[in-house]
A = this chain, B = another copy of it.
Amino acid sequence: MKYSNATNYALHTMVYLTTQQREKLVGVQELADMQRLSPTYLSKILTKLAKAGLIESTPGAKGGYKISRTKQDISFLDVIHAIEGETSLFDCTIHHEGCLIENVMREAEENMKSELQSKLLVDIAKEAEMNQKS
């Protein structure tokens, strides 16, 4: 069980955008080069992030992407959610006579989600910048 590569790329992209100065637009080409991805593929990921309201896009020449102005304190969970959609660690619908482990798994999942919700992009970006300087 692992998160998809797309989620991984999305998180990296979001951390990178967070380190940029406000209002500066970054094109998909630059973001793709950074991660050695094809621009068209990354573009699909970026569109999902935009639809979720985490970033804002501007088409046309000198266009690009930037972190959303309205959405504050974006967390890791927000990003994961935007890419993977609503997920549940366990699918209890496969059981016919009632799921014995539903409560246990739900508890574990809530716990993990709350931790990922507490991880904010800005904190990680600061950390990354400090590491880069040293």
Contacts and interface: CB of A to CB of B under 8 A. Distances in A.
A88 B1 CA distance: 7
Contacts of A35: 95-96
Interface residues of A, number: 37
Contact of A90 (B2, B88, B91, B101): B2
23 contacts: A1-B1, A1-B2, A1-B84, A1-B89, A2-B87, A2-B91, A5-B91, A5-B94, A8-B90, A8-B95, A9-B94, A11-B100, A12-B100, A15-B101, A34-B97, A35-B96, A76-B104, A100-B128, A104-B119, A108-B112, A108-B115, A111-B112, A112-B112
Oligomer: number of copies: 2
Interface of A: 1-5, 8-9, 11-12, 15, 34-36, 76, 84, 87-91, 94-97, 99-101, 104, 107-108, 111-112, 115-116, 119, 124, 128
